[in-house]
Amino acid sequence: MAMEPAVPAAPAPAPAAAGALARAVQASDDEVVARVLAGERALFELLMRRYDERLARVVRAVLGDDADVDDVLQEAWLAAYRHLAGFERRARFSTWLTRIARNAALDRRRRRARLVALDPTSEARPLARAHDGDPEQARVARELAERIERAIDALPAPYREAYVLRQVQGLDTSEAAACLSLPAATVKTRLHRARALLRAALDADPDPIAPRAFPFAGARCDRLVAAVLARLEGMAPAG
């Protein structure tokens, strides 16, 4: 896992901000975006908490490991905020966000490849995982999920992305295709091949376990939200 931002866990929002967040929970993405652009910047936290896990999974699918996920997520959220006024609603807000996160992850993957090319002796950063609560309880609860995570990580990148969007995150074929800028038929083909490879690796059907893979919540999500909100201070959304 990437080095986590050197910031404290997210502080409790001020009463006025907490009230605004609570009242906006049922608002649509488009409503929340409009309110952020109108000056209610605190509501951007609501969008982050709605989509942090989805974007984390997308970034992880592109990178193939957990090493830089938190760093890339921060950059993706900052980019989304900077360009929020440019969201033109030609696609779902969630699709627009996913493309931003995927592009940030692709940029990081390209930079990694250049570094490896410059230094052939370099090794990948070790995979680290964060478990909240009792370590033994977390180990038991995630045993099956970690098996499928290892198998998903081993998939070729195009199959991994299709499988994570469709089966881990649960997007339908049309939205997954929009996020990947691919025809729906290509997504279906990649998903089929990913399933076949996972069944061979696990000797079992991977789909029932898939939604448990790559969780992003709790203290890790809180730290990410706090880090992004701290960096947004003084920054205004632009087109």
Q: Residue 191's Cα: distance from chain center in Å?
A: 19
Give the tens place of pLDDT for each residue, 185-215. Answer: 999 999 999 999 999 999 999 998 899 899 9
Return the pLDDT at 47: 95
pLDDT at position 164 over 60: yes
Return the pLDDT at 9: 43
| Chosen CATH of 1-132+215-239 out of 1.10.1740.10, 1.10.10.970, 1.10.565.10, 3.40.50.300 | 1.10.1740.10
Domain ranges of the chain: 1-132+215-239, 143-214
The backbone torsions φ and ψ at residue 20, rounded to the nearest 5 degrees and listed phi first, read -65, -40
Tell me if 223 sits within 8 A of 130, measured CB to CB.
no
Give the tens place of pLDDT for each residue, 58-112. Answer: 999 999 999 899 999 999 999 999 999 999 888 899 999 999 999 999 999 998 8
Whole-angstrom Cα distance, residue 53 to residue 75? 15
N residues, the chain: 239
User: Residue 54 to residues 51, 76, 116, 164, 237: CA-CA distances in angstroms?
Assistant: 5, 12, 28, 9, 22
Residue 5 structure tokens:
């931002």
Return the pLDDT at 91: 87
The count of C-alpha atoms lying within 13 angstroms of the C-alpha of 236, restricted to the half-sphere facing its C-beta, is: 5
* For helices 44-63 and 29-37, angle between their N-to-C axes, nearest 10 degrees: 110
Nearest to 56 by CA among 115, 18, 4, 10: 4
Top-level class of domain 143-214: mainly alpha
Whole-angstrom Cα distance, residue 172 to residue 162? 11
